[in-house]
A and B are shown apart, each in its own frame.
Chain A
């Protein structure tokens, strides 16, 4: 049983560009959340998707947007990249009826903005 899978694993972009990160949730999971983890920091909640809608959002600007597809996979889009967007982007999934004890994280996408 594959866990949460993210692609790509590493990505290098320049300031002002746009990036799309992808996440496939663990089998049977229908709720996906995204987190940003800067170097030496803990993960910060970006937003959560369920039933193809954004359900909750953290303190991130509108440059950060997302999407969830009917197969529950998800994308995170970041526009007008800034140097400060360099971080590990983590996707996490669970079933909608489960508590966060059953939240599984992927290994993340390491984004470097030059």
Chain B
């Protein structure tokens, strides 16, 4: 069964304290791995897609990396406005219109 697991469930950081969020996956075939940001009362907002092991993408203070079994979302010198839930999702080859999401990591960054 295709499965996505995110850790930790929740993370509290002081402003400027860098850290990483983990997304491990077990799927029959990976079409792409997605990272989304979700603010309270809003829908997920697309951040990155990674397609193959070794791939990396960056956007401002965020950097996503991918291996054959997991992905990391590195947050460098976070600011309070980075507080949100970060969701990881996979798209599998045999089912290209469906995303399988993890349960997310709730990030709080305090001043």
Query: Are B32 and A100 in contact, CB atoms less than 8 angstroms apart?
Result: yes
> Which listed residue, B4, B49, B100, B103, touches A101 by the CB 8 Å rule?
B49
Interface size class on chain A is: 20 to 34
- Also in contact, A45 and B99, with CB within 8 A (given A90-B43, A106-B43, A107-B43): yes
Asked if A84 is at the interface of the complex by the 8 Å CB criterion, the answer is no
Consensus secondary structure, chain A interface: mixed
Report the interface size for chain B: residues with CB under 8 A from the other chain: 22
- List chain B residues, Cβ under 8 A from A99: 32, 49
**Stretch of B11-19, B61-69, B74-82, B89-97 on the interface side:** B89-97
Asked if B43 and A44 make an inter-chain contact with CB atoms under 8 angstroms apart, the answer reads: no
**Contact A107–B42 (Cβ < 8 Å):** yes
Q: Are B98 and A103 interface neighbours, CB within 8 A? A: no
Contacts of A58 in B (CB 8 A): 98
The answer to whether B43 and A45 touch across the interface, beta carbons within 8 angstroms, is no
A33 interface residue, CB < 8 Å from B?
yes
A56 close to chain B: CB less than 8 A = yes
Specify which of B44, B95, B104 lies most central, judged by the most chain A CB atoms within 10 Å of its CB. B44
